[in-house]
Structure 1
Amino acid sequence: MATPTLIPFVDASPNKDLLLSAARITPILVPSAAVGEIVAALPKSSSYYVLVADDDSLDKAIGYLDNGASAIFASVEMADRCISAGVPAEKLYAVSSSTEIPQDVLSGVKGALIKISNTDSATQLAKPKVTLYLDESKSAPTEKTVAALHKSNSALVVPLSQLTNDATSSTHLNITDAFLAPITTDRPDGLFTTIVSSYLHGGKSLGLCYSSKESIEESVRTGRGVYQSRKHGLWRKGETSGAVQDVIKIELDCDSDCLNFEVIQHGAGFCHLDTPTCFGQLSGLAALEETLVSRHQSAPEGSYTKRLFNDETLLRSKIMEEADELCAAQSQEDVAFEAADLIYFALTRCVSKGVKLADIGHALDKKAAKVSRRPGNAKAKYLEQAQAKTAPAPAPSTTQQPQATTSGSDMIRMRKTNLDSVSADERLQLLRRPVLNSGAMIERVRPIVEGVRTKGDKGLLELIGKLDKAELKTPIARAPFDEPAIAQDVKEAIDIAYENVRKFHVGQAEKEPLVVETMPGIVCQRFARPISRVGLYVPGGTAILPSSALMLGVPAQVAGCKEIVLATPPKPDGSIAPEVLYVAKKVGASAILKAGGAQAVAALAYGTETVPKVDKIFGPGNQWVTAAKMFVSNDADAQVAIDMPAGPSEVLVIADKTSNAAYVASDLLSQAEHGVDSQVVLVTVGLSEKEIDDIEKEVDSQAKKLPRVDITRVSVSKSLIVATSDIKSAFDFSNDYAPEHLILHLDKASEKVPLVDNAGSVFVGQYSPESCGDYASGTNHTLPTNGFARQYSGVNTLSFQKHITSQELTKEGLDKLGPVVVTLAECEGLRAHANAVRVRLGMQSP
């Protein structure tokens, strides 16, 4: 929003009429000690700020925002703490006696309130930061001062005790005079163009008229719609017709030459033709609300709407029915149609309880203003009902849906469909994954990333304490590391896995440069060089994941990276899991960053006083890690690359009649246990219903014996069995799906590998479980998900290298190629390019 003309500050017990006048034209600044009393006296449509007391806690400061304050004003120290806690900049002002505010604080606030004793000597913050002034000299400001400050993107915070609804005097400034101080007009009659809009209908324009200072002053003072007729003078809207207006808000536009009156219109409407607006009737939601309000008052007996108002059970049932149909709708047309039905019944419920669209808008605004957020998880009874209905992509009509599971004894089942009986559109739906709202997630990680980027180690340590729950003195540990104490069998297992992974990744390394003589006397080369500094993100916290450290650290070591920084969440005591530390030593890590989440990604991307900046970041993680990687990779200042996009873990198994049901089920469950969003697909080739049922029974039996059965129950209920009649159809579907893991339970499986076009990694035959690739076979388990196997490879040795090309020409080579280059360069109009050849060959310019 634009900078207000002025901000009234409640400095004493206010006159109620003056308080309401102020609320109609500007947000009000309220001291925290008086918030309850003042907010209770304001209309719920009013905007207000809170001046946080020095002894208020951080939670209390954030609580003011959660309870509806548009922004808080806090000391520099408290503002710094609010920034670290994730309070958005647009909701935070620092309070200081000087504009000399630390840059790390200034970058995280919208502006500052500067306490001064003379506005003439006031200095201003650099734009676009907003500078507000509180003149402590106790003298009332003038219109001239208000106008001058507003012109420079600043404003005065004026004690309410210095304002009045009466005429301006030496001790008090009329509040309307102050509000209109910057207003201008180019009309010869001096009137101001005024738009009138409907508060109850989301600001829909009702019409256009004109205002004068006299009419505006009366509206501000009385709260009634008063305008200036060009023929008849003051026009008190509805004075004769009864179509009066309650003024909710009056605001200036960005150029201070136009006004907007947001009003509640009573009577027949705004227009003299007795229509709601000067542009005709209402439409859409506004029209529906008007109709429902009318029906609520006078619907004829026996009408359907009357039944809905009188029968709460019927209305409740219709709301639940339409909500379910909206969730099941697929096409844009169907979604719009079902949403319209749901909105109709929901708005009927609202009207029956006296709730208007404006009340819903106000509730939405209040929710959006909250800084603290609840997890947003579904209630158990709704989650149980949805488990059988929800899927990575909505199921087509030919898919058999399992019954909703309601207890641990119910069979854990998958969704089924036959590929031969689905349409092209339905097949496309089967290939879809859940959509991650990456834009929203990036906005959520932005304050974390910015906190590390701007505040370095200080910001990083604060976030480690808050999010990783560990209090550290330094975020980094440098090699050489202490020898960790781990069980001998675990150590031996890691050693074997390390050797296998290393052998396979050494085999991927280029042994010598590629050298090609393209023409006599012209030799072109391509050679590999390691990326100098790499960051390896190893998820952790409560889990121990030495396998991820191996899969990232070994190829970095083989590639010859000079600096390997491993990042992993610390334990509460600040230590690192000994198994991960052991791997870090084996792969030659130069440092360990004791941080997880977006804060670790930010530290690797930008570097801090102690954390080295890296050139590329690798590794899996949750949505916060993924969003942070996307954020920094798109920031030109970071100059950092990432390995690949990431999503939930997934597996696709192709099984024919030679497959072992128990083996197939175990492979499906090995991915299903990762999380409720894991993607699990079984593609069968020529299996009968009984053979498919045998696999499902094995899934159910094995799952119930595993400790993560609650997770598996949800992910399996969203999983999919796709029946096909032949190998070609099965592989066509798999290649279109492009799974992270592809497992082949097929007769002569190795002969089918040439049919694979898109997959992260392939597991061939019944004795090749996916878990071997996850840990120790030698291949890498950091693989593309979400269909990105169409474009990306899994992490490998070349991921940690870049290729450089070179060319060397002899004189004879240039003699032959030079005229070709000259011709092409001059064709493109690049004469200097051509000249670089001409001067060597002694060619004359044309």
Structure 2
Amino acid sequence: MPVFLPLLDGADSALYPALSRIGPTILTAPTGPFPDGSYILLDGPAYDGDLVASYLDQGAQKVIVPLAWAKELVDTIPNDRIILLLDAGAFSSVSDTIRAAVSGVLIQSSNLDLDLISSISKFFANSEIYVHAGHTLPARSSIRQIVGINATLVIPAAQLTLDQSTGSQINIADAFTAPLVSDRPDGLFPTVVSSEVGQTLGLVYSSLESVKESILTGRGVYQSRKHGLWRKGETSGATQAVTSIRLDCDSDSLEFRVVQHPPGFCHLNRMSCFGSASGFSALQSTLVSRLQSAPEGSYTKRLFNDATLLRSKIMEEADELCRAETKEEVAFEAADLFYFALTKCVGSGVSIADIEASLDKKAKRVTRRAGNAKPQWSQGTTPAAPAPVPSKPSVDVTASIRMRTADLSVISDSDRAALLRRPVLKSDEMIEKVKPIVSKVRTDGDKALLEFTAKFDRVTLQETCVRAPFSEDAMQIDEDVRQAIDQAYKNIRMFHEAQLDDGPLIVETMPGVVCSRIARPVARVGLYVPGGTAILPSTALMLGVPAQVAGCREIVLATPPRPDGTVSPEVMYVARLVGASSILLAGGAQAVAALAYGTQTVPKVDKIFGPGNQWVTAAKMLVQNDTDALVSIDMPAGPSEVLVIADHTANAAFVAADLLSQAEHGVDSQVVLVAINLTIGHLQQIEDEVDKQAKALERVDIIRESIPKSIIVKSTSLEEAIAFSNDYAPEHLILHLEDAPDVVASISNAGSVFVGPFTPESCGDYASGTNHTLPTNGYARQFSGVNTLSFQKHITSQQITANGLKALGPVVATLADCEGLQAHANAVRIRLAHAA
């Protein structure tokens, strides 16, 4: 947060240069251009959402709006861009919805009542607090006290001056340095000097006097411990233009961002005291030098002088980057592209700082374009290309959507084995990609979580977790949806309660030797619910209900936040139903890492459940093998899959619908139809139904890719079909057979079986009662789907009487002697001797 916020209007433009060096300013509804990062105060009588969006799109950091406006902005503007304008006495009337929809609150008060401000801070626990005390002139001590309780004082322009502080005005630099404290005997402040793009140039010291002069003049001025004020470059010519001055979090050191003029900051005529620049900074310096002094005929000079050559190289390298596949290739081609792109920038007078400023400004936009490619690029071509070269074959939307066919009676063993294979999952490559994410969350905790959520989910959050009890406002759902969820919950709970192992297993293996097994719940479980823009209450039910039934002490749901930073109300409602203790607002590998290791606010769990994309799967595989994490997972995961066995009784429309219900999941979905002696006509009916039904679905583009990869396997007998299915070990197995119930006994490998024509796989996905978190990729040979026992572990015990040991002891001692473990044998013999 800034030390203080100046409140300006258009007449105060003389203050802009000095104020821009020390933080943002509040502008009162400007009519013209305003500095990037400004806060805009809007307090008109009529709500104007377009005006709000316009200011944010133009580069405003935040808008400050009254309560009536804030209510209108809920779910339309990101909460980190909104500050609520409120009278001091009205803070307790703000609803939970509004509190969650803003990132800060500007309190209007007649005086600086620290107790009141502290109370307001607790009420708005997750928000930044700003205080405008009207015409009360703040002293330096007041500013220091306000900063000390994590609030920021708003100071009107009329109370600010560039001259000496008086009884009616405070000098800008005096206000900024008010919180500064020094633990040094000489009272100086360590100061890190960085370039405008953040490259560290050196470490110096500042005094109140030097900081004040830098703020007011915009030049780099420091305090030499030997010679007093040091105006950088005054004798060497290596001057600095100060772009920003910031305090650290403890208010005992500073950072100056500067534009450093040649030859550099260091007395050794280098840019930095810490050695030569690297990466983009080094490349920019080299190109600037070449622009000024490269000899005629050199390649870089040619690039600067020949716009056509430079344009061609940029397009060439962009194309090669698009074609790169491996990590090494992408890095190599990206480096080439950056070189030529930065050459273009330097030749046009554009610096890395200018590019970063443009990126920051674009990130502040709240209205977005569709993001589609321009026509000349939409097919993967360049304008200069002699003929269009499509990136992939164009789609004929009239063409039939057909499956491939294989016949078990004529194919070779190797071809049959090929039918059983799934696509190769490059798990090693994915694990390498998620390692940095997992490591950063493990090290930096909540800070890393919030950074990754902003980066990957494009949501800026103030907190990582929502804790029970959950707000009723967050669970407002349609009544028919509520009833459907309640019925699904009832069915799933009934089925999973029947699986509960709630009594000890007691066996007397021989007289006086009693062995027991006791079930205990896994104490803390993390349930990953894919989401973001999707609504997936079904997965929350499938994971949450068995955890609740098993008696897990702590249930943590993890789900990516929606664009507004919230969780879908349907998932929130399920979270309450299943007794979740908290909801982690994160997705991907970062969510898995937070669950595995815990953070400052996210509880560490003992076992992680739930489906997800390849990032989630790789992260789960990584953390389960880390002994420091001490966490297990439910099962490996791959693309969704279904295998349908159909005979002459199968309804063609039903079979097609079942195949499509999995094909629409993704282009890598695995769909297999095993046809037992079906006639050509019957198979044609099924394929015609697939084509007709697919073209009526919204996700037909996905199906156009997944169905042609799918297979019809012709079989001559039920036994042959079942053998193929057991070898394939599908996630979902659907039986469209004459005696379907009798066939279940022959199934040895499947995640879940759907028996008969009126048992679509969708029912198991949502509400029949079985679980839809199932093994894929052939792992049904080794793994069960998620069930109540997945959330339990078993402890064994034994109790032996003296007489029992007399019978059992010699057996144990003999085996211990056989293995050469004398202490084991002694533990028995010493007791036998005592009992004799």
> TM-score, normalising length from structure 2?
0.62
Q: Does 1:456 align with 2:428?
A: no
Q: Deviations over 1:699-754 (max 9, x none)?
A: 99975994159955556558996xxxxxxxxxxxxxxxxxxx99865673433455
CA contact (8 A) 2:243 2:259 kept: yes
CA contact (8 A) 1:195 1:259 kept: yes
Q: Tell me the CA shift for residue 342 of structure 1.
A: 2.0
In structure 2, what is the equivalent of residue 364 of structure 1? 359
1:645 equivalent among 591, 596, 611: 611
Q: Tell me the CA shift for residue 57 of structure 1.
A: 4.0
Q: Tell me the CA shift for residue 91 of structure 1.
A: 5.6
Q: Does 1:338 align with 2:338?
A: no
Alignment of 1:365-514 (within 5 A): 365-371=360-366, 376=371, 384-385=379-380, 403-405=392-394, 408=397, 429=426, 440=453, 444=459, 456-461=471-476, 476-477=482-483
CA distance in 2, matches of 1:817, 1:457: 64
In structure 2, what is the equivalent of residue 278 of structure 1? 273
Q: Deviations over 1:531-552 (max 9, x none)?
A: xxxx9x999x999x9xx99x98
Q: Tell me the CA shift for residue 445 of structure 1.
A: 11
Q: Tell me the CA shift for residue 27 of structure 1.
A: 1.6
Q: Tell me the CA shift for residue 336 of structure 1.
A: 2.1
Q: Does 1:115 align with 2:108?
A: yes
- Structure 1 gaps of 5+ residues are 387-400, 465-469, 482-498, 530-534, 562-595, 618-622, 656-661, 685-694, 722-740, 821-840
Query: 1:6 corresponds to which letter in structure 2?
Result: F
CA contact (8 A) 2:515 2:798 kept: yes
Alignment of 1:385-784 (within 5 A): 385=380, 403-405=392-394, 408=397, 429=426, 440=453, 444=459, 456-461=471-476, 476-477=482-483, 516-520=507-511, 522=514, 524=516, 598-605=568-575, 607=576, 612-613=577-578, 644-646=610-612, 650-651=640-641, 670=660, 673-674=663-664, 677-680=667-670, 706-707=694-695, 711-712=699-700, 745=714, 748-756=720-728, 759-762=730-733, 776-777=758-759, 780=764, 782=772, 784=774
Q: Deviations over 1:95-148 (max 9, x none)?
A: 331484347355665443222222255521236754332112x24221222223
In structure 1, what is the equivalent of residue 321 of structure 2? 326
Q: Deviations over 1:270-315 (max 9, x none)?
A: 2333322223332210011122233334444433333433444544
2:259 equivalent among 248, 257, 264: 264
Q: Does 1:87 align with 2:84?
A: no
CA distance in 2, matches of 1:244, 1:649: 60
Q: Tell me the CA shift for residue 26 of structure 1.
A: 2.1
CA contact (8 A) 1:206 1:278 kept: yes
In structure 2, what is the equivalent of residue 355 of structure 1? 350
Instruction: Tell me: CA distance 1:630–1:234, structure 2 relative to 1, closer, same or farther (3 Å).
Output: closer
In structure 2, what is the equivalent of residue 176 of structure 1? 173
Q: Does 1:5 align with 2:3?
A: yes
Q: Tell me the CA shift for residue 247 of structure 1.
A: 1.2
Instruction: Tell me: CA distance 1:239–1:759, structure 2 relative to 1, closer, same or farther (3 Å).
Output: same
CA distance in 1, matches of 2:581, 2:155: 52
Instruction: Tell me: CA distance 1:405–1:58, structure 2 relative to 1, closer, same or farther (3 Å).
Output: same
CA RMSD of aligned residues (A): 6.3
Q: Deviations over 1:358-378 (max 9, x none)?
A: 122122323434455556566
SS class of match (1:272): coil
SS class of match (2:155): strand
CA contact (8 A) 1:143 1:178 kept: yes
CA distance in 1, matches of 2:69, 2:219: 41
CA distance in 2, matches of 1:121, 1:709: 61
In structure 1, what is the equivalent of residue 15 of structure 2? 18
SS class of match (1:207): strand
Instruction: Tell me: CA distance 1:283–1:451, structure 2 relative to 1, closer, same or farther (3 Å).
Output: closer
Instruction: Tell me: CA distance 1:265–1:639, structure 2 relative to 1, closer, same or farther (3 Å).
Output: closer
Instruction: Tell me: CA distance 1:373–1:771, structure 2 relative to 1, closer, same or farther (3 Å).
Output: farther
Bigger drift between 211-220 and 166-175 goes to 211-220
CA distance in 2, matches of 1:408, 1:86: 38
Instruction: Tell me: CA distance 1:91–1:328, structure 2 relative to 1, closer, same or farther (3 Å).
Output: farther
SS class of match (1:14): helix
Alignment of 1:141-160 (within 5 A): 141-160=138-157
In structure 2, what is the equivalent of residue 572 of structure 1? none
CA distance in 2, matches of 1:679, 1:380: 31
CA distance in 2, matches of 1:146, 1:283: 40
CA contact (8 A) 2:735 2:757 kept: no
CA distance in 1, matches of 2:403, 2:669: 12
CA contact (8 A) 1:668 1:680 kept: no
CA contact (8 A) 1:197 1:261 kept: yes
Instruction: Tell me: CA distance 1:809–1:245, structure 2 relative to 1, closer, same or farther (3 Å).
Output: closer
In structure 2, what is the equivalent of residue 579 of structure 1? none
SS class of match (2:21): helix
CA contact (8 A) 2:641 2:670 kept: yes
Query: 2:141 corresponds to which letter in structure 1?
Result: K
Q: Tell me the CA shift for residue 177 of structure 1.
A: 0.9
CA contact (8 A) 2:107 2:131 kept: yes
Instruction: Tell me: CA distance 1:542–1:112, structure 2 relative to 1, closer, same or farther (3 Å).
Output: closer
Q: Tell me the CA shift for residue 250 of structure 1.
A: 1.0
Instruction: Tell me: CA distance 1:157–1:628, structure 2 relative to 1, closer, same or farther (3 Å).
Output: same
Q: Tell me the CA shift for residue 638 of structure 1.
A: 13
Q: Tell me the CA shift for residue 20 of structure 1.
A: 1.8
Q: Percent of counterpart pairs with the same letter?
A: 32
Q: Tell me the CA shift for residue 158 of structure 1.
A: 0.6
Q: Tell me the CA shift for residue 252 of structure 1.
A: 1.6
Q: Tell me the CA shift for residue 251 of structure 1.
A: 1.4
CA contact (8 A) 1:227 1:235 kept: yes
2:290 equivalent among 288, 295, 305: 295
In structure 2, what is the equivalent of residue 69 of structure 1? 60
Q: Tell me the CA shift for residue 263 of structure 1.
A: 0.9
Query: 1:761 corresponds to which letter in structure 2?
Result: H
CA contact (8 A) 2:474 2:572 kept: no
Q: Tell me the CA shift for residue 651 of structure 1.
A: 3.8
Q: Tell me the CA shift for residue 25 of structure 1.
A: 1.0
- Structure 2 gaps of 5+ residues are 382-389, 405-413, 438-448, 522-526, 552-565, 614-637, 646-651, 675-682, 741-749, 766-771, 811-830
SS class of match (2:11): coil
CA contact (8 A) 2:402 2:708 kept: no
CA contact (8 A) 1:783 1:795 kept: yes
Query: 1:73 corresponds to which letter in structure 2?
Result: I
CA contact (8 A) 1:744 1:762 kept: no
Instruction: Tell me: CA distance 1:157–1:816, structure 2 relative to 1, closer, same or farther (3 Å).
Output: farther
Q: Tell me the CA shift for residue 347 of structure 1.
A: 1.8
Instruction: Tell me: CA distance 1:377–1:703, structure 2 relative to 1, closer, same or farther (3 Å).
Output: farther
CA contact (8 A) 2:2 2:23 kept: yes
Q: Tell me the CA shift for residue 258 of structure 1.
A: 1.9
Aligned residues: 670
CA distance in 2, matches of 1:450, 1:374: 31
In structure 1, what is the equivalent of residue 562 of structure 2? none
CA contact (8 A) 1:7 1:27 kept: yes
Q: Tell me the CA shift for residue 62 of structure 1.
A: 5.3
Q: Tell me the CA shift for residue 170 of structure 1.
A: 0.9
